[in-house]
């Protein structure tokens, strides 16, 4: 009886180890760029009307990302973790009727997300994946006023994202992604920002 239990336990352990060895963990690094837009809060819109100025709604954004993808290459579903950081260029806050710059604004985001990769490429040699993810992060809105002090305000900012990954080779992937970043701080400048862009990733 004891022998049977030991043999059964050994078999279960071997199956478990074999399953773990079959799982692939592939780290990656990448660079991204695109456009980031801002949906301003009602208080900012009221301030714009009262002060006769317009805050920028569109920014050019660039960033870096890294993480790991887990799952067998030939399986339909893979999971993974992504760490990302994005920074916009400065855009001007301008007077409504003269277009004079009264300030400059930019944004910075950092986030960690869990991503679901769902293969939709059928029997093609290279993977094409639908990517759906959600995560947690922080957002900074920085404004540099002409002739006055600058200010940076941070907010906790969860995010959701959807996109596509197109595998060029086994190690190089192109991504197209849309992200919605939702600041939670009360009285914050932005109710939501969105990032639409692409990335080149090298997967080890």
What pLDDT was estimated at residue 16?
A: 41
What pLDDT was estimated at residue 101?
A: 95
What pLDDT was estimated at residue 97?
A: 86
Look up residue 72 and give its DSSP letter. Answer: -
Contact 117, 80 (CB under 8 A): yes
Contact 147, 110 (CB under 8 A): no
pLDDT band at 23 (very low <50, low <70, confident <90, very high): confident
The model's pTM is 0.84
Q: How large is the average pLDDT for residues 128-133?
A: 97
Answer with the residue of higher pLDDT: 187 or 165: 165
Among candidates 114, 117, 120, 126, which has minimal Cα distance to 67? 114
pLDDT in tens, 73-89: 889 999 999 999 999 99
The CA distance from 91 to 71, in Å, is 41
The CA distance from 23 to 143, in Å, is 46
What residues contact residue 9 under an 8 Å CB cut-off, 6+ apart?
Answer: none
């Amino acid at each position: 009886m004891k022998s049977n239990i030991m043999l059964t336990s050994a078999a279960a352990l071997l199956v478990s180890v074999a399953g773990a060895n079959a799982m692939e963990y592939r780290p990656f690094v990448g660079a991204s760029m695109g456009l980031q837009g801002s949906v301003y809060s009602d208080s900012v819109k009221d301030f714009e009307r009262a002060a006769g100025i317009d805050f920028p709604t569109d920014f050019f954004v660039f960033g870096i990302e890294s993480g790991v993808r887990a799952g067998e290459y030939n399986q339909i579903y893979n999971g993974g973790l992504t760490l990302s950081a994005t920074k916009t260029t400065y855009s001007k806050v301008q007077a409504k009727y003269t277009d004079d710059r009264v300030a400059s604004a930019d944004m910075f985001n950092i986030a960690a997300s869990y991503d679901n990769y769902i293969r939709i490429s059928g029997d093609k040699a290279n993977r094409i994946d639908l990517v759906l993810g959600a995560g947690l992060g922080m957002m900074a809105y920085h404004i540099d006023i002409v002739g006055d002090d600058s200010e940076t305000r941070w907010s906790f900012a969860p995010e959701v994202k959807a996109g596509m990954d197109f595998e060029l080779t086994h190690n190089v992937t192109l991504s197209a992604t849309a992200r919605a970043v939702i600041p939670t701080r009360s009285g914050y400048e932005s109710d939501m920002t969105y990032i639409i862009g692409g990335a080149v990733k090298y997967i080890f």
